[in-house]
Amino acid sequence: MHDLVLTGGHLLDPANDADGPAELAIRDGRISEVGRVTTGARRTVDVSGHYVLPGIIDSHTHLSRHFGSAEGHGMVAATGVVTALDMAGEIQDLARDLTGGGAGLNVAYLHPLVPGATLWSHDPSEDEIAGAVARALASGAVGIKLLGGHYPLTPKATAQAVATAAARRCYVAFHVGTTATGSDIRGLEEALHLAADLPIHIAHVNSYCRGQTTGDPVAEAQRALDLLAAHPCAVSESYLSVYNGTSARCQDGIPSSAVTKTCLRLGNFEQSEGGLEAAIRAGYARIHHQKDGEIVLAPPADGLETWRALGTDAGVSFPVNHIPSAILLATARRNGPFVIDGLSTDGGAIPRNFLVRHGLMLVQMSAWTLRDFVVKASLNPARMLGLPAKGHLGVGADADVTVVDLDAGRARWSVARGRVVLADGRVEGRGGTLLVSPAGEAAARSRGLAHEVIHREGWR
């Protein structure tokens, strides 16, 4: 007896060369039969007219307090994503949401290294970095996030963090920038130089190609592609949204985040708390604001009120991404494979969860085949994160499935580890599963979390 059978759909699974009508059966959280299902099921769902794809993986989200919040789980799940990497995670927040709330997602997180918060300074010693990496893994993170673009470390400390992570087989993602550069194309060049031949995940490549350095976003995207193609040890993702996401927090009258200051400069506003207030009033800076269980970009008056009520410590988005450059980055290939491995959102509780919507638009426009979409949104992210049981629908694989209506450009159903998350367009999932490294298993168990230990394989 299967737990769940999806009938009537068109199954597309590039890793197993499957592309045609097929039934899919699930038992005990795994794919149990593919093709013509011979045994009965507790629940059968007719997905006629839709495509049955390996579960969509968003390799860049925000679900914890640093840049996100609890609402992110439902916002992600509503789009058909079943696995999310929280890029600045916090075990307290995730433990609360994965037990008492959540939306049934698989969630892994990276622990952020932030000077003045999780590190003493912007130039930590080798020992301090080693301690931070060890604590991150023991608390349940699968790795660390370097937030150089917002809160930079010195180039030396950045290189040390990458080396320490590699030695511990700890995942490391980098929002580029150090005390010597910024969140731009020069920062990307420096990041790849500092990482040399060590594994690194370059976060949201599109955000370094806004024309900040040369005034020409498309030329910067071409440069980013050349740099990444020359560094095969680096994996990367990019997203398709005009809005970025950053912090509106100000200290002593100045925005704390370097990204926020750059956005104010790009919009011709003063790089101060007063400049940020003017940008909010003008509708250029959009404060993140809770409404009906979701986070939305607030209109100016509501945004100002929220920003003031939170003592400036709110999230904010600026329309600074250049879409032609972002489309070039998402679709570019070198000798066959995509240069940038994954399509992501940098969303979650930042309201721009457009992975499925904009990814399927590229398919509708014939910029991608649907197979390309699966590669960018499931297979490649599974390989980046070292998850061999995800990204495909072979018998024995994790029962992570996303069913999409290509004409409507959206997901209708999704399943994570055998449990329905999205049911005919409505989020039905609760709780969720934390993916941890072997070092984090004890922490997950002691918090009573549904968890799975991942044993990362090589990069790529």
The binding site for Zn ion (CB under 5 A) comprises 87, 346
Reading across the β-sheet that carries 286-291, which strands appear in turn? 246-247, 315-317, 286-291, 294-297
- Distances in Å between the alpha carbon of 223 and those of 214, 326, 338? 11, 13, 15
Closest CA to 6 of 441, 422, 401, 451: 401
Residue that is written with structure tokens 């794919």 in the block: 31
Segments in 30-154 forming alpha helices (H): 71-77, 91-100, 126-139
Cβ pair 262, 182 in contact under 8 A:
yes
Q: Which is nearer to Zn ion, 87 or 258 (CB)?
A: 87
Position of minimal CB gap to Zn ion: 346
Q: How far is the CB of 119 from Zn ion (least distance, A)?
A: 18
Residues 6+ apart with CB under 8 A from 301: none
What 8-state DSSP symbol labels residue 159? H
- CA atoms of 356 and 82, how far apart (whole Å): 11
Q: Which is nearer to Zn ion, 52 or 285 (CB)?
A: 285
Q: How far is the CB of 113 from Zn ion (least distance, A)?
A: 14
Helix 300-309, helix 273-281: angle, nearest 10: 150
Q: Which is nearer to Zn ion, 33 or 237 (CB)?
A: 237
Q: Which is nearer to Zn ion, 237 or 346 (CB)?
A: 346
- CA atoms of 429 and 419, how far apart (whole Å): 7
Q: Which is nearer to Zn ion, 201 or 231 (CB)?
A: 201
Q: How far is the CB of 304 from Zn ion (least distance, A)?
A: 24
Q: How far is the CB of 129 from Zn ion (least distance, A)?
A: 21
Q: How far is the CB of 87 from Zn ion (least distance, A)?
A: 5
Q: How far is the CB of 384 from Zn ion (least distance, A)?
A: 15
Q: Which is nearer to Zn ion, 68 or 418 (CB)?
A: 68
Q: How far is the CB of 406 from Zn ion (least distance, A)?
A: 28
Q: Which is nearer to Zn ion, 76 or 87 (CB)?
A: 87
Q: How far is the CB of 172 from Zn ion (least distance, A)?
A: 14
Beta bridge partners of 85: 108
Q: Which is nearer to Zn ion, 87 or 314 (CB)?
A: 87
- CA atoms of 358 and 378, how far apart (whole Å): 15
- CA atoms of 370 and 167, how far apart (whole Å): 37
For residue 356, report the phi and psi dihedrals to the nearest 5 degrees: -75, -45
